[in-house]
Amino acid sequence: MDRRDFKDLYHETRIFNRRALICWVALIILTCLLALRLFYLQVVQHDRYATLSDQNRVLLQPIAPNRGLVYDRNGILLAGNRATHSLNVTMERVGDLEETLASLGKIIPVSERDLERFSERLKDPRRPYQSVPVRFKLTEQEIAKIAVQIHKLSGISVEAQLVRHYPLAASMAHVLGYVGRINKQELERIDPVNYSATRRIGKIGLEKFYEEQLHGSVGYQKVEANARGRVLRVLERSAPTPGEDIHLHLDSKLQLAAEQALGNRRGAIVAIDPRSGGILALVSQPSFDPNLFVTGIDTRSYGLLRDSPDLPLFNRALRGQYPPGSTIKPFVALAGLETGNTDWQREIYDPGFYQLKKGGRLYRDWKKWGHGRVDLNLALVQSCDTYFYDLAHRMGVDKMHEFLARFGFGQRTGLDMAESLRGILPSSEWKKMAVGEPWYTGDSLNASIGQGFMLATPLQLATATAVLANRGAWFQPRLMQRIVEHSDAAVQDVGGRELKPLEDVALADPENWQRIIAAMEEVVHGERGTARRISKGISYKIAGKTGSAQVVGIKQDEENDAETIAERKTHALFIGFAPAQEPTIALVVIVENGGGGGATAAPVARQVLDAWMDSGGTG
């Protein structure tokens, strides 16, 4: 039997050497790959990973600009910024949110409402890695308590910030508006970069209209932070540009005097400087405290404002649309003179009513037994409805519409009052489009005394009165007087005739301006004027016109005397300007459900005019 050697050392050595070589080659290749990767990370990608590493300790934070201030014409602050401290949470640095909030509640009071508003703020899509406030207006004691415990609370910080504040509170609410938390709709239209650190934006009023000027430009700072996200030091800082300061034509003292004159009654007062169009006072009563909305109003407080029958959130001065009543008569009279449908000598007989045809409807005069024989001057002084019924019958609505539109009726004319409404200046075409019915002569009669379809806002009435005071010269009504830029302290003046939206009203006979104004003077200072009671003890001349606008229609078989009007709770109106021949102020007063204009609205106007004249009356 053959013997065989089962152990081939030579062959095994060759196999071992071959495998060792392969292992060494693989090891060398892997080492080279590792070296190449190390080179790539350390050299080629050095800048990128150095930046990523720095983000663990260096953060770039946006800095909100200080919002611009708002002053009245005398430099009195109307809207400022108040320093406050807030308790903030950065969600990404908090472990257990519920536990953290519970811990905070043991240190300082945190109400359910605070937690509700905090939850709402968390929905802000810009929120990641931004601190979200839980509590505002921390006291010094609360700040101290948090400082002692803050090392135990990750993602918690106390931040100082400026919060909008309105020193005069409800007095200027409907003029200034207010700021509030930015919502989703607003996020879609604002610059996300410039508003990256801003939590509030103008919601209504001037705060909204001049948002771009008031907001300013965002700044940035590079800070060093520890693992808990707390800032250790500021490395670099680019300061934000504060918003621009705005000075208004408003006179806060006159505003307060107007509010005091109106008292607790619902209504509106608008006063304009006819020489510039500047709004001197804009009152809507009742009002509300805009400070409630800055950091978020609670549900109960908002519900009380929203559901109040007095509508304190409603801006009557800009959005209240009222029948102008007899305050429209000076303009209708000018329209009749301009179109040749009446003159100063033409007389009619007023038996206390007007009929288009015998046996037809009675269009009643406010004076039950009528005024007897009346010319245009007496019709204005005593506010004779019958004369204007007859004039409207002769003139027609379309001529009346065309002329009154030149005074701004039926249009938005305010420069920086975007929330104002147009009112309604009816015409035959308007009724066909709006109501789907033809225009009737009776509609013209109602329009001639400021009733029927006609509606005007207090701002429109004040604007038209200012044009009348100027003998037809137009200046666009506006609140803002000038803007002061912080960057170079430059002053931008927005005054001047270049802002006029309409052409000056020119009459074929300019003497009619003076005769209309003389009749309006007699309304106040004449023995038979409807506002003669307010002329007692006065040292200057007022040109005015009273009005009473029906809220409920009067049926044919009902009486329409002054007592009935009061029971029907008509709105009381007064328009006027002073001094009559060189006016420095034009105004309108509307007292809702106040009764007669001469008895209710005119005395309010006298108080406002006295306050203006006592202050110098020159602006």
Q: Which residues are catalytic?
A: 326
Q: Give the SS3 label for residue 433.
A: helix
Please report where in the chains the tokens 């600009």 appear, as a residue.
65
User: What are the residues whose beta carbons fall under 8 Å from the beta carbon of 414, sequence distance 6 or more?
Assistant: 318, 420, 459, 463, 476, 477, 478
Q: Could you give the strand order of the β-sheet that contains 278-285, starting from the edge strand earlier in sequence? A: 278-285, 267-273, 585-591, 571-578, 543-549
Q: Are strands 571-578 and 585-591 parallel, antiparallel or unpaired?
A: antiparallel
Give the whole-angstrom CA distance, residue 38 versus residue 204: 59
Give the whole-angstrom CA distance, residue 205 versus residue 422: 17
Give the whole-angstrom CA distance, residue 109 versus residue 106: 7
Q: Which two tokens stand for residue 156?
A: 């918690």
Give 368-387 as a 3 state SS string: CCCCEEEEHHHHHHCCCHHH
Give the whole-angstrom CA distance, residue 343 versus residue 387: 12
Q: Give the SS3 label for residue 14.
A: helix
Give the whole-angstrom CA distance, residue 500 versus residue 556: 45
Give the whole-angstrom CA distance, residue 210 versus residue 413: 17
Give the whole-angstrom CA distance, residue 405 versus residue 398: 11
Could you tell me which of 47, 138, 28 has the C-alpha nearest to residue 88? 138
Q: Which two tokens stand for residue 527?
A: 């023995």
Q: Which two tokens stand for residue 181?
A: 């938390």
Q: Are strands 245-248 and 200-204 parallel, antiparallel or unpaired?
A: unpaired
User: What are the residues whose beta carbons fall under 8 Å from the beta carbon of 71, sequence distance 6 or more?
Assistant: 77, 78, 245, 246, 247, 248
**Cα Rg for the chain, rounded, in angstroms?**
37
User: What are the residues whose beta carbons fall under 8 Å from the beta carbon of 228, sequence distance 6 or more?
Assistant: 93, 154, 155
| Amino acid at site 541 | K
Please report where in the chains the tokens 């007592």 appear, as a residue.
563
User: What are the residues whose beta carbons fall under 8 Å from the beta carbon of 613, sequence distance 6 or more?
Assistant: 539, 540, 578, 579
Q: Are strands 245-248 and 70-71 parallel, antiparallel or unpaired?
A: parallel
Q: Give the SS3 label for residue 354.
A: strand
Largest CA distance in the chain: 163
